[in-house]
Structure 1
Amino acid sequence: MEKATGVGGVFLRSDRPEALRAWYAEHLGIDVLPYGGATFRAEPGDVTVWFVAPRDDPYFGEPQQPVMVNYRVRDLEAMLAQLRAAGAPVEERVGDSEHGRFGWVTDPDGNRIELWQPPPGRYPDG
């Protein structure tokens, strides 16, 4: 049987795509290419988590949000401070677990975004 071998992309819809791309470039440092997207190069040992949650799972934020994107970061505290300084709506809570540290911010379209700092030595750059 054939199977999926990984995630090939994440695609967002927006009523204001140019503004949303600019927000991600400015606040998360995503290098948006001329076609409007970006690529992330996988490092040896990188992992991508795929998970299906119950529709009413509060972890996603608003119930109408069907998907939450998780971005790997090197320094969660520095990223959250940068976002706060720029006026982005950052949740005060930081989650710590054996899987790393987690923080959350909401983009201008109302999408809750998860920021993940992997534990030291577990994944590249983590």
Structure 2
Amino acid sequence: MKKRVTGIGGIFFKSKDPAASKNWYSRHLGLNTDQWGSTFWWKDAEGKDCSTQWSPMSEDTQYYKPSEKQFMINYRVENLEELLETLKAEGVEVVGEIESYDYGKFGWIMDPEGNKIELWEPNDKAFLE
């Protein structure tokens, strides 16, 4: 079987004031923030450039629905379509439809605790161009 999760793609959390949160983390922890948050660059075991996104989001965001949690974790995966089919066959709840962008494909599942999990088949090169 192919790898499923290959790394953390992003950490997203609700914030009363996302701009103030980004400023605080920039000032006190040195995060290089922009409108989306902060991107951390690293290399995988094969030496490929990879990214992980950190993003505070508005506390009224609907992006985590149907989860009511204050956060969502994005996992980097290989072959999203195949993985979602496998997970569905294993009885995992798949949420919504796959969405494709120049920086990768996204799909969502729910864990047993009601956490929405974002799965991302990345195209990191789109960020480097």
> Would you call these one fold, judging by a TM-score over 0.5?
yes
Bigger mean CA deviation after superposition, 52-61 or 73-82: 52-61
Within 2, Cα distance between the matches of 1:69 and 1:42? 20
- Counterpart CA distance in 1 for 2:82 and 2:54 is 26
Matches within 5 A, 1:1-126: 3-4=30-31, 42-43=43-44, 44=47, 45-62=49-66, 64-119=68-123, 122=125
* Residue type of the alignment partner of 2:99: G
Question: Counterpart of 1:58 in 2: which secondary structure?
Answer: coil
SS of the aligned residue for 1:77 comes to helix
TM normalised by structure 2 equals 0.59
TM-score, structure 1 as length reference: 0.60
| d(CA) in 2 for partners of 1:112, 1:82 | 18
TM superposition shift of 1:63: 6.2
Task: Report if the CA contact (8 A) 2:98-2:106 is conserved.
Answer: yes
Structure number with greater CO (CA < 8 Å, separation at least 6) is: 2
Seq. identity, %: 33
Provide Cα deviations, 1:6-49, integer angstroms capped at 9, x if missing partner. Answer: 99xxxxxxxxxxxxxxxxxxxxxxxxxxxxxxxxx951422110
Gaps of 5+ in 1: 8-40
**Aligned Cα RMSD in Å?**
2.6
Q: Give the aligned partner of residue 12 of structure 1.
A: none
Residue 122 of structure 1 aligns with an amino acid whose one-letter code is K
- C-alpha deviation, 1:92, in angstroms: 3.8
SS in 2 for 1:114: strand
The letter for the 1-side match of 2:125 is R
Aligned residues: 89
Distance 2:114 2:67 in 1: 12
Match of 1:13 in 2: none
